[in-house]
Chains A and B, each alone.
Chain A
Amino acid sequence: MGVPKRKNDIKVYGVKQNVDGPDVIGRRKELLERITKSDTFLPDSILHEDLDLGMLDFVKENFKIISDGNQIPIIPRILTIQRWGEMTNNWTFADEDGNMKLPFMAVIRRPDVQPGTNPVVQRTIPDRRDFFYASVPTWNGTQMGADVYKIPQPVAIDITFEVTIVCTKVRDINKFNRIVLQKFSSRQSYTSVKGHYIPIILDRIEDNTPMDTLDGRRFYIQNYTFTMLGFLIDDEEFEVKPAISRMFLLNEFISSNNYAKKYINKTIEITIATFTADGMQTVFSVGESINVLFTVAINGLVQVRDIDYYHIAGTSKITFTSAPDEGDVITITYFKGRNDTFIDTFGKPLQVSYENFTYDGSTMEFTTLSPIDSVISFDINGLVEDEGVGFEVSGNYTVKLLESPAVGSKIGVVYLS
């Protein structure tokens, strides 16, 4: 059984409904769902690469500029000097020389990442340690418990990005400027990084168009500087510890329809368990410890122990050497007492005895070596006979056949004496 995913059981920590209102709780839970999409209960890591990718996605999604009927392409990577050459050859907007066709846009990240100013995590707690995040119920099939998830306070970082447009028309510059200023009309916007809202602030706009020479390629280049107020969450710092474990005990109750109780001398309870084979099953369990196994029969035919089946004393299982046919009725007769001593109603100890006889064609009565207290089973050639139908106890030392079997038939009697 797999570990159940009960993410909804994670409580939104520290929320008081009467103070914040039900909408706030709902929203907080919604946000919690967003950051734990991968079903790990814990938020995913947010590292530098994730934040860079978040900025790139933000630019691709929001800065769509149409020039001459086509969208100005955005370089699909964060621009660096080192990987430039090998990347350009794969871009569809490169010309035959491997140079990018104008116009295009690029996202450049400044290599120096600064300590963060994100207001959410500005109040740093000294002595970096883990804090409670959630307790998650666990279940490994037999044990139920809970894991306590702890995470440290995220680390605030500021990353500076430059979004650059290189084009040949002032009209494209205008379009880009309009889109950016509309998006950042309140100076900041947000991108989503693994479910976390990360603010981005527009810092400044500058023009880098080469103006000093006429004898060169003519183009406009403008630079928009943004600061991403990000934070780092590193899953290697997470801590998951088991908190509480409870043993889950399963008691299996077997339907009484398949069981019959046979009382011998009122104090001795013999159980007869009946199963119907499915043609594949070889192991049959009576659901309780068998102290004394009397007989195992298939369709009334007594099976031979250690040949037709195996049984380990004190266990509940009968294991057949080959699966009984589908529809076969298996009957297991046993005593489940704590030991193999039987006591009758007068406190007299009784022993289990087993004797064999051969029918000679004339003698219907058979004399046992010990006095018969009660018969547990009686079979002719392995075929179980019911008392009063196939046999009867005719005396202290005798059992009597009520019908004549074939001459030479083997008769087995299990009895208490």
Chain B
Amino acid sequence: MKHKLPITRLSKFFSETDFDLNIQMGQEYLHGDLNMKLVIFRVDRQRTDTDEVYAEVGKDQIKFLPPVEFNALVKIEEPKNTTYKGGLGRYLEPGNMNISVFIKHLEELDIDIRYGDFIGYPESEERIRYYTVTNDGKVTSDNKHNMFGFKPYYRTILCVPAQESEFRGI
């Protein structure tokens, strides 16, 4: 049984129909007007061989499921001018990427976004910047991710820039 318990709260003023309508309107804006496209590279955790002691893999040893294009609201933070240690080894760290994605959209694509997956964001026509998921936003029971306290409708996923030694991209 898919639905273990029907949600009846707010049923007088807000129902599944209203919820679906809002999602539909939101998707129309996000997918139609903004049309912000990203690519998810999901790690195939069954086929990827990891190191038996440290569970580490080399950059070319990770096995992926087929990449999937999806729509999301993207917010990228400013790059940080930082150092590796005590002012030495300066580098310009690209800002983290926060994406908001409709749960329904992920269900329609039959994909999940999990900690450790890689997401490609087309920064320009020539370059895709890759990020790795550090917070997959699976817990959505907070007010922000709920529509009027009815039920969750989107996930906020936090991604940090991926190293070339982790993921080489396509």
Seen from chain A, the residues whose Cβ lies within 8 Å of a Cβ on chain B are 67-68, 79, 81, 84-85, 95-103, 106, 108, 164, 166-171, 208, 214-219, 221, 223
Neighbouring B residues of A223 by C-beta, 8 Å: 85
Seen from chain B, the residues whose Cβ lies within 8 Å of a Cβ on chain A are 51, 54, 56, 58-60, 84-85, 87-94, 96, 127, 134-135, 158, 160-161, 163-166
A-B contact pairs, 13 of them (CB 8 A): A67-B165, A68-B58, A81-B87, A85-B90, A97-B91, A100-B89, A108-B88, A171-B56, A214-B134, A214-B135, A217-B93, A217-B161, A218-B160
- B58 with A216: CB separation less than 8 A: no
User: How many contacts between A and B, using CB within 8 angstroms?
Assistant: 73
Neighbouring A residues of B94 by C-beta, 8 Å: 97
The distance in angstroms between the C-alpha atoms of A98 and B56, with both chains bound, is 26
B92 to chain A: closest CB distance in Å? 6
A226 to chain B: closest CB distance in Å? 16
The distance in angstroms between the C-alpha atoms of A214 and B166, with both chains bound, is 16
- Residue of A with least CB distance to B77: A215
The distance in angstroms between the C-alpha atoms of A67 and B163, with both chains bound, is 14
- A208 with B164: CB separation less than 8 A: no
Q: Contact partner of B92 among A79, A99, A103, A168, CB < 8 A?
A: A99
The distance in angstroms between the C-alpha atoms of A142 and B117, with both chains bound, is 84
Where chain A touches its partner, the secondary structure class is: loop
Q: Contact partner of B84 among A85, A95, A164, CB < 8 A?
A: A164
A205 to chain B: closest CB distance in Å? 14
The distance in angstroms between the C-alpha atoms of A81 and B86, with both chains bound, is 10
- B135 with A100: CB separation less than 8 A: no
- Residue of B with least CB distance to A99: B91
Neighbouring A residues of B90 by C-beta, 8 Å: 81, 84-85
The distance in angstroms between the C-alpha atoms of A69 and B54, with both chains bound, is 18
The distance in angstroms between the C-alpha atoms of A166 and B160, with both chains bound, is 18
- Residue of B with least CB distance to A167: B165
Known: A68-B59, A68-B165, A168-B163. 6 other contacts (CB 8 A): A84-B90, A99-B93, A101-B163, A164-B85, A169-B54, A216-B93
The distance in angstroms between the C-alpha atoms of A223 and B59, with both chains bound, is 24
Neighbouring B residues of A84 by C-beta, 8 Å: 89-90
The distance in angstroms between the C-alpha atoms of A98 and B84, with both chains bound, is 15
The distance in angstroms between the C-alpha atoms of A292 and B52, with both chains bound, is 108
B124 to chain A: closest CB distance in Å? 11
